[in-house]
Structure formats: structure tokens, C-alpha cells
Amino acid sequence: MAVKLNQAALSHARQLIKDSRIARDARDDWSEHAPDTGQENAYIDKHGYAEYGTWHLGTDSEKTEGTKGRYSFPFGDFRRLHRCAILAIESRAAQHDHNDIAKAAKSLLAELDKD
């Protein structure tokens, strides 16, 4: 698996924080707040896969372009960045040795928590 940090998504996440488009939710809320398949498909139909990818900190170059499988580590609901998603990303990325993604998540948490 060739999952790498998606720089476009990291920039998008930082812009969401700067614009205060964030949900300061609790650690374990992501399973309830994550978009479901229908919401993902509707977003892709309206905005395309490239825009869909900007909501995911991971991208896998071994997966086919124009598929959901190419993207991993989602961090928002297509409106706001969720703190609970960033917490989940930091933990999951570290568990699977995606150190660049874990480090990016940690930096996003620092930006979120400095207020």
C-alpha cells in the first residue's frame, strides 16, 4: 500500500480551521459524524473525485484514480473539519506506520487547540 500524505487536503484542512469551519466534538464522535455512503456519493456527483479527495489526508497512488478507494483518512463532513476525525486519524495513522499523516494530524490538532 502506498498511502501518502495528501498535501492538497492538508492545505484544505488548514483553511477550514482558519475560516472557523470546524466542529469541536468529542474524541469518539467520528463514527456518528462521518458522512455515510449516500452523502459521499452525492458529494462526488456534485463536485467530483478531485474535490472529494481534498477531504482526506491520505491518498493511495496504487489505487485507481476516480475511485473512493484512492482516498483515506477523512476529516470532515464536506462542510466542516471535525476534531474527532483528526484525533482518529492521528491514532490510526500511527498504528499503521503512516507517520507523515500522523504528524500532519498532530499539527492540525495543535492548530485547533491553540484557541
Contacting residues for 53 by C-beta, under 8 A, at least 6 apart: 6, 8, 9, 59, 70, 71
pLDDT tens column, 36-59: 999 999 999 999 999 999 999 999
| Helix, coil or strand: residue 71 | strand
Q: What percent of the chain has pLDDT over 70?
A: 98
User: Rounded to two decimals, what is the model's pTM?
Assistant: 0.94
**Residues 80-99, mean pLDDT to the nearest whole number:** 96
Q: How far apart are the C-alpha atoms of 22 and 31, rounded to whole Å?
A: 17
> What was the pLDDT predicted at 114?
85
Categorize the per-residue pLDDT at 28 as very low, low, confident or very high, splitting at 50, 70 and 90: confident
Total number of domains in the chain: 1
Q: How far apart are the C-alpha atoms of 3 and 72, rounded to whole Å?
A: 8
Residue 24 belongs to domain spanning? 3-113
**Residues 24-44, mean pLDDT to the nearest whole number:** 92
Q: How far apart are the C-alpha atoms of 94 and 63, rounded to whole Å?
A: 21
